[in-house]
Amino acid sequence: MRLTYQPFELELKHTFTIAKFSRTSTPVMLVQLHLDGFTGYGEASMVPYMGESYASATAFLEQVDMSQFAYPFDFEAIINYLDGIAPGQPAIKAAIDIALNDLNGKLQQQPCWKLLGSDPTQMPVTSFTVGIAEPAEMIQKLKDAEGFKVVKVKLGSKDDKGLINTIRSVTDVPLYVDANQGWDDREKALELVHWLHEQGIVLIEQPFNKTDPDSNAWLTERSPIPIIGDESVQRLSDVAKAKGVYHGINIKLMKSAGMFEAKRMIDEANRLGLKIMIGCMSETSCATLAAAALAPQCHWADLDGPFLTTNNPYKMPGFVDGKWVLNNEDGLGLNLV
Ligand code: MG
């Protein structure tokens, strides 16, 4: 099995602002695995706050020797091998895992979603994310959200209620809220959560800092809306720690080191009675299809990556009634332009 890769700067439609950061593009590493005339495609989306970069990804890939692995693939052995090269760096590990899943599907002549045990009729709607902005810009951004059944909004601004009021002045779709660790006062947070409940908010992501499980657990205990851990839940070992702190977890392939471990996290969350959201970073169709293959096994999906970017190097997958369409092609079902 041979590995190739190219850096790719994924441009964002709007300057993206969340509680702590702002940016206009995302560095992505496109990865391919080649075997027996088939090519599997993968992708690492390296949002700056996660600490990976073209330099770290290249340094990692230069140490990877995939020629030692034969088909049929032992996914567990391969992810253990990648973890042995360096700790952390889940995005570039995910790129290899996604390419491996795509290649595996092509070699087995099966779609990835089928191999992972997903039922396409259970696909949840995908939310469309709008970042923090002034009211006029917010309303403009919401126009991009037409066709989506759910909108996700980033909170943690100076005036969170004002932001929700602005959204509610133009749409009454269900809302997901992401505080991105931006809240710091328990009582104020609880008051806001009750108010958000009245505004039809469906769930709240990561209210307090990921290093403050006590405050997150305090709010979870009292909240009428599901509280979801995102930044505090990266890989499989974090799922058990989320029990009692959050109602559910947000799984992202760029945190979990790919599809193999994400599937294990889903199974573990189900075992523990935790709700499951599947999310994304700024991603092309490639990582989006990889997450969509698992989305029917999750309660909520936030897989809007390709809608928030302007230079997706792949064809846009099917999207109908606010949901990704899983096709019957082998592997991820990714189509080159
Ligand atoms: Mg989040």
In angstroms, what is the C-alpha Rg of the chain?
19
Contact (Cβ atoms closer than 8 angstroms) between residue 238 and residue 261:
no
pLDDT band at 318 (very low <50, low <70, confident <90, very high): very high
Interval between CA 143 and ligand 1 midpoint (Å): 22
Q: Which pLDDT tens digit goes with each residue over 55-72?
A: 999 999 999 999 999 999
* pLDDT recorded at residue 195: 97
Contact 243, 274 (CB under 8 A): yes
pLDDT band at 17 (very low <50, low <70, confident <90, very high): low
C-alpha distances out from residue 133 to 129, 155, 240, 288, Å: 12, 10, 35, 25
Report the pLDDT averaged over residues 308-332.
97
pLDDT tens figures, 216-274: 999 999 999 999 999 999 999 999 999 999 999 999 999 999 999 999 999 999 999 99
What's the CA-to-centroid distance between 68 and ligand 1, angstroms?
37
Residue type at position 284: T
Q: What's the pLDDT band for 132 if we cut at 50, 70, 90?
A: confident
CA of 70 from ligand 1 middle (Å) equals: 37
**Ligand 1 center to residue 97 CA distance, Å?**
22
Cα of 256 vs centre of ligand 1, distance in Å, is 14
Calculate how far, in angstroms, residue 65's C-alpha sits from the geometric centre of ligand 1. 33
How, if at all, do strands 300-302 and 275-279 pair?
Answer: parallel
How much helix, strand and coil, in percent to the nearest 5, is found in the chain?
40, 25, 35
- Ligand 1 center to residue 56 CA distance, Å? 23
- The rounded Å distance from CA 255 to ligand 1 centre is 12
Report CA(154)–ligand 1 centroid distance (Å).
8
pLDDT of residue 180: 92
CA of 73 to the centre of ligand 1 (A): 32
Q: What is the predicted pLDDT for the residue at 20?
A: 60
Contacts of 308 (CB under 8 A, 6+ apart): 12, 13, 14, 16, 129, 282
Distance 153 CA to ligand 1 centre (A): 10
